[in-house]
Amino acid sequence: MQLNTSTNNRFKIKTLTLMVGLALLPALSWAAEQDKEVVLPTVTVTAAGQDLGESTEGTGSYTTGQTRTSTPLSMSLRETPQAVTVVTQQRIEDQHFLTITDVLNSVTGVSVNQYETHRAQFTARGFDINALMIDGVPTTWDQPWSSGEIMSSLAIYDRVEVVRGATGLMTGAGDPSAAVNLVHKRASSKELSGTASLGLGSWNERRAMFDVSTPVNEARTVRARVVGEYTASDSWIDLLKEESKTIFATFEADLGPSTLLSAGYSWQENEPEGSMWGGLPVFYADGSRTHWDRSKSTSADWVRWQSSYQNYFANLEHRFDNAWTVKATYSHGDRRADSRLLYLSGAPDKTTGLGMYAFPGSYKVRTKQDDFGLQANGPFDLLGRTHEAAVGYVNSRQQFNADSRAAAGGMAGDFNHWDGSYPEPAWGPLSYYGDNRIKQEALYGALRLNVTDPLKVILGLRVTNYERSGDDAFSSPYRMEFDHELTPYAGIVYDLNENYSVYASYTDIFQPQQVRDLSGKYLDPIVGKSTEVGVKGAFFEGRLNASLSAFRIKQDNLGQSIGLVIPGTVPPETAYEASSGATSKGFELEVAGEVTRGWNVSAGYSQFKLKDADGEDINTIYPRKLIRLFTSYRLPVLDGALTVGGGVDWQSETYTYAVNPQGATERIGQNDYALVNLMARYAITRQLSAQLNVNNLFDEAHYGMFDAYSQITYGAPRNASLTVNYKF
């Protein structure tokens, strides 16, 4: 299934013309208005409380000053020896990002394979991203048991930080792909301020949001913030309706001139109806290819996939006179989902539409997680120079439970004229399906050694005790333990001059695997090793950041079946052996920030090659090349009230192989494609503005593939939204 090549070429020409126009627009506008006095709206930079220089609210920027996602040390993007992207509050507003999926579809080096309406796989550098972080705390999620993670609202977050490569120093167990860190908004304002917005969009989209900050006492030492959001819409997909609600409340209290207490609570609920469980079939029964409308659905009118997430957190931070800081943190997460779904499998007859089998499924799942952390960091003197150190302890407990309701399936009927009227089955009572428990306890430390004025060396080590246990209704209980798992981190940064630095880094990550060898012993964890070198630049006092990185990632200890059964296992369990795994090599280029006054840009290009131990390409449903570009410009006309912007998200071809109903193997794929997005915002007054966003301007057809089941899921056609914002 290939997208039409001639259409794609015409699309590329239109895209190129549009982007050249966008690139020239600031220069043309400046030339036309260079003799006029321009009065620009005031940009307020909001103070962020103690040691929160990373906050992006009110800066109007597409970049930030500091991050902590890759190491426990607070460093600028230029000082960090890994590729880092920060999606700031201004970019979130300009591109009207509403969910974490929206953001990751536009991040350099990251792709999203949306193979179902409410499940997707995030990837970077050819490997899956299976952990999201909230304020630096990893919230591991079991992607097949999705509980709304990919639909997480951005209304409560200041920014999204993405560090590509292995990040084991901060995350412990994981994949060598990337770390995605969602950073909460803070109650830092000492004045009453806030935002209210109302929005309408395609497919009957409705959205309302408020965000209010205020001091609580006269001395302004206690501050509070409340955020609420409601969204609802229909969809381009038949039967699908969306509804979500979000509430967030937080406060900060200055317990003294050097002590800060902060705490908060968030609740998010998603209630979609008509979700697709699985995608659209690629083949007809005779082996020919299908060509469905993008509105086609496999769902039924009774399908539900409700999910909710509650999060409590508290932080206590004290800064000593010697500039050392000690911080204690606690967070509790409770994620739930309750679904009644319908899965259609098989290949329909081209004429009658018959031949598809309907499998109803209903699952109730819950994941609870508790995390405690203690960290100290600050400067120290050695050999006549000042250096920085950080040490910490983390303790994480996660428990997952799943129950299911039995139901009888049957033949689906005429899929060619499917309208979702398949009858809801009689569900059985909830019964045990499975559970697992994960415990992680770790000590970590990091040093940033100021060897010479231009040379900095960063060293880190994490020692982790990891335990995982569980069972399910179909196999025996299991338990695995890994004590004193060592995860090293090493980086070097050399300043060439006041603008440019070169760097190199080596990082590790490990991922326990639930397979055993012939003797019954669990295999050692998969180890991901990431080596990266690059050049970084910071310009205009850090308002513009650029980076060029080259990387090599290798997975070792990957379990592969040896075709034998472990003696004495009931039911029979296949034996595995450790082998060298996949190797990814590539490079990334990114520029983000303010080019000139009022002109922001975020642009990135990435490419990689990924091969297994035998030199064969793998994970080919993930694009090898990506372009991520968005720019906005406040025009020097109308007293600076008009801001326009646009961008393109392009990806190279993707493909997989599937066996058709006649038993022949065929390649399923799509050509490279680009999605062009536009925005315009007009400041009616200093407080009131209206913003129009248009996504997928040229209505490009695109889809995600589910390579295990020969299915595809279409992405959104052209759509638009209009938002009115009031700030006070």
Q: What is the pLDDT of residue 571?
A: 67
Nearest Cα residue to 403 out of 429, 424, 427: 429
Q: What is the pLDDT of residue 402?
A: 95
Q: What is the pLDDT of residue 4?
A: 43
Give the strand pairing for 357-382 and 157-164.
unpaired
Query: Which residues are bridge partners to 647 per DSSP?
Result: 630, 677
Which residues, 6 or more positions from 122, have their beta carbon under 8 angstroms from its beta carbon? 104, 110, 111, 112, 128, 129, 150, 178, 180
Q: Which residue ranges in the chain fall short of pLDDT 50?
A: 1-53
- 260 by Cβ neighbours in 10 Å (0-12 / 13-18 / 19+) ranks as buried
Q: What is the pLDDT of residue 28?
A: 35
Q: How far apart are CA 391 and CA 690, in angstroms?
A: 47
Q: How far apart are CA 343 and CA 299, in angstroms?
A: 8
> How far does the chain reach from its first CA to its final CA, in angstroms?
51
Residue with tokens 């030339």: 31
Domain range summary for the chain, segments of one domain joined by +: 5-727
Nearest Cα residue to 42 out of 599, 592, 687: 687
Residue 218's CB is within 10 A of a number of other CB atoms, namely 7
Residue with tokens 């398949």: 422
The kind and range of the H/E element at 25 are helix 5-33
Give the strand pairing for 719-727 and 688-695.
antiparallel
Contact 246, 229 (CB under 8 A): yes
Q: How far apart are CA 562 and CA 574, in angstroms?
A: 8
Contact 460, 449 (CB under 8 A): no
DSSP 227-285: EEEEEEE--SSTT-BEEEEEEEEEEEEEEETTEEEEEEEEEEEE--BS--SS-EESB-T
Q: How far apart are CA 33 and CA 337, in angstroms?
A: 56
Torsion of CA 158, 643, 95, 19, to 10 degrees: -140
Query: Which residues are bridge partners to 214 per DSSP?
Result: 224
Instruction: Report how far apart, in Å, the C-alpha atoms of 33 and of each of 22, 67, 600, 638, 685 are.
Output: 17, 38, 19, 11, 22
Cis peptide before 661 (omega within 30 of 0): no
Whether this prediction's pTM lies above 0.95 is answered by no
Q: How far apart are CA 415 and CA 347, in angstroms?
A: 10
Which residues, 6 or more positions from 657, have their beta carbon under 8 angstroms from its beta carbon? 665, 666, 667, 668, 707
Q: How far apart are CA 385 and CA 601, in angstroms?
A: 37
Nearest Cα residue to 621 out of 127, 12, 8: 127
> Amino acid letter at 603?
A
Residue with tokens 């499917």: 418
The kind and range of the H/E element at 15 are helix 5-33
Per DSSP, 638 falls in state G
Provide the CATH number for the domain formed by 5-727 in this structure.
2.40.170.20
Q: What is the pLDDT of residue 92?
A: 98
Query: Which two tokens mark 279?
Result: 């995608």
Cis peptide before 571 (omega within 30 of 0): yes
Query: Which two tokens mark 195?
Result: 């935002």
Q: How far apart are CA 580 and CA 509, in angstroms?
A: 15
302-346 pLDDT per residue, tens: 999 999 999 999 999 999 999 999 999 999 999 999 999 999 999
> Amino acid letter at 471?
D
**Beta strand extents in 496-557 (DSSP E only):** 500-511, 526-539, 544-556
3-state secondary structure of 30: helix
